[in-house]
Structure 1
Amino acid sequence: MPPRTLPTPAAQRTVPVDLIRPGAQQARRHFDPAALSELTESVRESGVVQPVVVRQLADGYELLAGERRWRAAQAAGLHDIPAVVRNDLSDDEAFVLGLVENLQRESLSPMETAHGLRRLADLHQLTHEDVGHRIGKSREYVSNFLRLLALTPSVQQAVDRGELSTGHAKALAGVSAADQAGWLANCRAQRWSVRQLEREIARHRRGTPVAPSSSPKSADWLRMERSLADHLGTVAEVAMSNDGRGEIRIRFHSLEALDGVLEKIGVQLD
């Protein structure tokens, strides 16, 4: 029997559903059962309209994009599914393809989006603006989601469950990890809007020894914080009291991220 040849890049074919396995690098990890059930009924009636994207393996195919469609096809009892075969992609390119498709479909949870963007930035040492160019989004879009990585696990779970909006989450990302649980409890109990939460946090900060004045930060201060965040690849805050003293707060979400920050500011540990 002659050896099988690989298809040309972007070749479309029909692939057995049971030969496909989810890609380990995909950003999406959670699937709404009700929405998946609706899609399953649609697939059962009309089939899979848009092909999934896969790479060929020695014993099957790795799913790069379209896991919800593949799961629905399984649940509907289909034996085959249309697929675009992309054997021309590296691991990094495959990850970016899956991330972009999910972002375009708005199918990722806020924290899945944040972790996906962080991984993309770390893979290629990209600034927030560079990440935005890669995925077709603005720098502000990228920065706002990456700020969510400063949240504690309990607050991240509340965001993913829809108990907090991303606006609430961005406000909570600006307070210390030790204080976030308390702010979350107050926000739930009082049913604060995003603006109310921001006002309460600002009022609390005005009572601390090192804090900005009662007036909002100037455009120059905000530009400085954005530049620091872009350079370091993480959230950075500058706070100064009226007597000229202050501090710079740099957030990190793992020891690996801390190593990256230290490297960017020229600190070498023996």
Structure 2
Amino acid sequence: MSNSVAPQIRVVPVDLIRPGSTQARRHFDAASLQELARSIGESGVVQPIVLRTRVWGYELLAGERRWRAAQLAGLHDIPAVLRDDLSEDEAFVLGLIENLQRESLSPIETAAGLKRLGETFELTHDQIGERIGKSREYVSNYLRLLNLEERVAALVNEGHILLGHAKVLAALPARDQLRFADEIVRHKLTVRQLERRVSQHRHPVPVFSPGKPGDWERLERQLSDLVGCPVAISHEKSGRGELRVSFHSLDELDGVLERLGYTANS
């Protein structure tokens, strides 16, 4: 990020501030906000928020929760660091990293933020991890959550389904996601219990008797659907043959292994 302009700390009227379009966070727990508002009412805002100047006032880059709580506490002004040196992309990265460090994003918000970071700078999962100080596995696990059906993603955002559950559900077709999400909520399943139920639900591929070429093609399609990657079968009249699964990245391989029930501790 550019450092050509030194950050300035100002006291800024709260009503001149508006959330920026780059903000990754979209959901704020009302009870948590009220608790922070009470703390701010007693001790003030300890850490400044981050803004940049606009014609109409100030755009909020980081610290939206503190800004909202300050308003609830009845404050008219709030301390802020001005970062008019940042580009749009740099402003987004700053806000995302702060939220990740504070663990203030929901799992889905984290996934969306990481996706945008990767697309904006054309980064691999490894490079995204380096940018935010996290592992490739951390990045890959969150990005898989973008495969969740919309109603399941909402349950994750609302805290009814935990991140561990969500990672298991993300590898399933939409209809199965909904079914198992309902079971998680109704029966309060642990992640391990969910994994067992999903494993029991997955039907083994039927015993296959060699037939017409179209039968082999149909089996390839079925296996491709099962593992989520292209599958090719070559065979001889003697019965010998080869089953080949193609993947284009380590992330796709991770997805195949998850669908097959393999874990690194196996």
> TM-score, normalized by length of structure 1?
0.75
The answer to whether residue 199 in structure 2 is matched with residue 202 in structure 1 is: yes
> What do residues 142-162 of structure 1 show as CA deviations (whole Å, max 9, x unaligned)?
111111111001111111111
Partner of 2:112: 115
Structure 2 partner of 1:150? 147
The verdict on how the C-alpha distance between 1:136 and 1:239 changes in structure 2, with shifts beyond 3 A counting, is: closer
1:69 counterpart (66, 72, 75):
66
Match status 1:83 vs 2:105: no
For residue 60 of structure 1, what is the aligned residue in structure 2? 57
In structure 2, list runs of 5 or more residues that go unmatched.
207-222, 228-245, 261-266
Say whether the 8 Å CA contact 1:65–1:98 is kept in structure 2.
yes
- The secondary structure found in structure 1 opposite 2:28 is coil
- C-alpha deviation, 1:69, in angstroms: 0.8
Q: Which of 156, 165, 170 lines up with 1:168 in the alignment?
A: 165
Partner of 2:256: 237
Question: 1:26: how far off?
Answer: 0.3
Residues 150 and 81 (structure 1 numbering): CA distance in 2 closer, same or farther, change over 3 Å?
same
**C-alpha separation between the residues in 1 aligned to 2:184 and 2:205?**
20
AA matched with 1:165:
L
Shift of residue 202 of structure 1? 2.1
Asked whether the 8 Å contact 1:9–1:87 carries over to 2, the reply is no
How big is the shift at 1:239? 9.2
**1:159 lines up with 2:156 in the alignment:** yes
Report the more deviating stretch, 200-209 or 51-60. Answer: 200-209
* Large movers: runs of 4+ above 4 Å: 238-241
What's the offset of the Cα at 1:204?
A: 2.4
Aligned-pair CA distance for 1:238: 6.5
Match of residue 4 from structure 1:
none
Q: Which residue number in structure 2 is paired with residue 140 of structure 1?
A: 137
> Is the radius of gyration larger for structure 1 or structure 2?
2
User: In 2 relative to 1, CA 240–133 (structure 1 residues): closer, same or farther, beyond 3 Å?
Assistant: closer
Which of 224, 227, 230 does residue 249 from structure 2 map onto? Answer: 227
Structure 1 pair 115–80 and aligned structure 2 pair: CA distance change class (3 A) = same
Question: Kindly, what percent of the aligned residue pairs are identical?
Answer: 57
Measured after TM superposition, the shift of residue 180 of structure 1 is 1.2
Structure 2 residue aligned with 1:13? 10
Letter in 1 for 2:249: S
Q: Provide the secondary structure at the position in 1 that maps to 2:256.
A: strand
For the 8 Å contact 2:171–2:255, the answer to whether it is kept is no
Q: What is the CA-CA distance between 1:39 and the residue it aligns to?
A: 1.0
Q: Secondary structure at the match of 1:37?
A: helix
Deviation (angstroms), 1:31: 0.8
Where do 5+ consecutive residues of structure 1 fail to align?
A: 1-6, 213-223, 242-270
TM-score using structure 2 length? 0.76
Could you tell me which residue of structure 1 aligns to residue 41 of structure 2? Answer: 44
Contact 2:171-2:258 within 8 A present in 1 as well = no
AA matched with 1:158:
L
Residue 25 of structure 1 and its aligned partner are, at CA, apart by 1.1
| Matches for 1:179-194 after TM superposition, within 5 Å | 179-194=176-191
Q: Alpha-carbon deviation of 1:192? A: 2.4
CA RMSD of aligned residues (A): 2.5
